[in-house]
Chains A and B, each alone.
Chain A
Amino acid sequence: MDSLIFLIIAGGASAVGLYMAWSIGSNDVANSMATSVGSKALTFRQAVIVAGILTVCGAIFVGAHVTETVKSGIIVKEILCVANPTIVMLGFFSSLLAAAIWVTLSTWKEMPISTTHSIIGALVGFGLITWGTTCVNWEKLGFVASSWVLSPIVGCIIAFFVFKIIVKLIFAKEEPVKSAKIVGPFIIGTTAFLIVSALLLKTQLSEILGITEIPQIIFISLIALIIVSIISVFLLRKIEAKSLEDYAAVEGIFKKLQIITACYVAFAHGANDVANAIGPVAGIMDIAVTGTISVTAEIPYWLLAIGGVGIAIGCLTWGRRVMRTVGGKITSLTNSRGFSVEFAAATTVLAASKLGLPVSTSHTVVGAVIGVGLARGLEAVDVSVVRKIVISWLLTVPVAAATSAAIFILMTAIVL
């Protein structure tokens, strides 16, 4: 009987996990890619392809850190390890389901909540109802929750300075186009540097390649910086200024550069958000396969890949529609602004992923947009969204926790 239940739960968990991944792909990816579509750096078709491929890459190569946090960072390990495996499985399942329901509900009600926050809230709810307040790793939870507030702020600050630098080094110069051709490749090289170092810093890939020393990683990333810079110098050489104030040509340069930052965003998004769908599933699969709870077990790569693919499918099926709608709404974003937003948001999210912090990509993007607005880069930014986001912060954890607890009670009543 046990094995049958295990099978049902494992299957069910995978299904709900896939559903969660799908909803992340269809909705959250659109939020992070919308800036590329809105500023016309990519057509929405290209955005779907870029998001599909790079989200999977980010999920597989960098996603494990955050998944670990979602899987077993929120509930105290000592309690989780000695608990009844069935209870833990049911708990993870309820959390996943509760988070998925809340996400769907918020999508319908158009509330700007985050899938990340939902899953964490749901896990807390399950922990509280089962073991009481002592089981929640409050310190870790506090750390995670503070990262939710910090990530948009950091995104905002980085975007502010990136845009200020662009203004200072390009727009304020006598020949903006000429300056853009010099500065652009360097910034894009920096992006390549960050992506490559993220790929190699404490990941499976670096162990396979045998590159684990920090100086080595920096050296390889620097090579990537130089190569990418040279390639972009080569690609940008054809753009000539028609006049001294040919800002369209400057934007044209950023349009090309933005292709890289769009990839960067998709990559960072995959790295961070795959955990929302896969974390609990990984926990369940672990128990279903071994029969015991092992906190330290590696997240299997095929699971990350499934999560990534789930996101990619969501992106391909529904994401294109969402992307077109959202992208169409933000057409006032020009390429230099889109570039600043994407660079800032992706850097923040990727850094959070490296720290094992599940943050909200879309909230960080909003923070970055406001940052550019504060740098006098946008014609109008509606900051009322901040209030909505704060409400969603306050609402998501309790609601997801309560739902998760309710589902858990219901499940145990049925199963046990």
Chain B
Amino acid sequence: MVEKKDHFRAPVSYTFRRKSPFDQLLDHMGKVRECIDILGKELIKYYEGDYKNFSDIARRVSEIEHEADMIKRNLRNHLPNSLFMPVDKGKFMWALREQDKILDHAENLAKMLDMRHTKIPNELQNVFIDHAKLVTKTVDAMEDAVENIRDLVETSFVKREREQTKLLIRKVHEFEWKADEKKYEMTKGIYGLEKKLDSMDVYHLLKIADWVDDIADHAENVADWLRSMIAR
């Protein structure tokens, strides 16, 4: 339908916005989900030494990151002071910012992995795969927690829903902690093989461990901001 300029005096409609900020936050989260779903699977393939199509994946991740960026920018640019939200706007923006960081790091990871195909030593493959799975789980748990915003808003933040969200946030912390532990195991493993491996390989392997773990860190940050958003 063609947008027509309608001349109405409609005070009620001035108080509403076409798209709610929470909807946009969830849209953005949808992009995170899409991205991590793809990257999580492909990362494991990469670890197993299958580099086929990885360039395509890196490009796709970059595209998703760009799409999410547009959502973020749109949301941030249209959050005027006169807008009253049931949660602190500052905390809301921080949650969004951290959520966006997940995608930034995902993009960086994909690009860097694509730049140099580093063979994961056979001894370390399982640890690397476990770590990737834990990071994916952390993000999944974060998504569940963010998703619960719907119910929170619908019930106007009643205790039951806040407790539920807190429970989901606790899960994020748990997975993030496990992922951290795995990362130290990985790092230890890499140091253990330093005599055997090429120094450039060691460098890149250490970097990969960091890059992948960054994603879990930011997922945890999102959960933390969400927690402070719903705090009384």
Contact = CB atoms under 8 A, between A and B. Distances in A.
Given A247-B151, A382-B83, A384-B80, A110 B15 contact: no
Interface stretch (A26-34, A217-225, A274-282): A26-34
B8 A370 contact: no
Contacts of B23: 332, 379
Given A379-B85, A380-B20, A380-B85, A106 B156 contact: no
Contact of A172 (B9, B14, B86, B158): B158
A34 B154 contact: no
A400 interface: no
A381 B84 contact: yes
Contacts of A409: none
B160 interface: yes
B82 A110 contact: no
Given A163-B156, A172-B155, A329-B18, A34 B12 contact: yes
B12 A326 contact: yes
Given A172-B159, A332-B16, A113 B82 contact: no
Given A247-B155, A330-B16, A322 B80 contact: no
B9 A112 contact: yes
Interface in B142-198: 151, 153-160
Contacts of B231: none
Nearest to B5: A110
Given A374-B84, A380-B17, A383-B84, A35 B12 contact: yes
A167 to B, nearest CB: 5
B200 interface: no
Interface residues of B, number: 33
B6 interface: yes
Contacts of B16: 38, 329-330, 332-333, 369, 380-382
Given A383-B15, A385-B14, A322 B84 contact: no
Interface stretch (A81-89, A191-199, A358-366): A358-366
User: Which DSSP category, helix, strand, loop or mixed, fits chain A's interface?
Assistant: helix
Contacts of B17: 332, 380, 382
Nearest to A26: B8
A366 B9 CA distance: 13
B10 A112 contact: yes
Contacts of B14: 112, 366, 382, 384-385, 388
Contact of A379 (B9, B13, B21, B158): B21
Given A247-B151, A370-B15, A31 B20 contact: no
A344 to B, nearest CB: 13
Which 8 pairs between the two chains have the least Cβ-Cβ distance? A384-B82, A112-B11, A376-B86, A379-B20, A171-B155, A385-B14, A329-B13, A330-B16
Interface of B: 6-23, 80, 82-86, 151, 153-160
Given A31-B12, A330-B12, A373-B15, 8 more contacts: A34-B10, A34-B12, A107-B7, A329-B10, A329-B16, A374-B84, A382-B82, A383-B15
Interface of A: 27-28, 30-31, 34-35, 38, 103, 106-113, 163, 167, 171-172, 174, 176, 245, 247, 251, 321-322, 325-326, 329-330, 332-334, 362-363, 365-366, 369-370, 373-385, 387-389
25 contacts: A28-B9, A30-B10, A31-B12, A167-B156, A172-B155, A245-B151, A247-B151, A322-B8, A322-B10, A325-B8, A326-B10, A332-B17, A332-B23, A334-B154, A365-B11, A366-B12, A369-B12, A369-B15, A373-B15, A379-B86, A380-B20, A380-B85, A382-B83, A383-B83, A384-B82
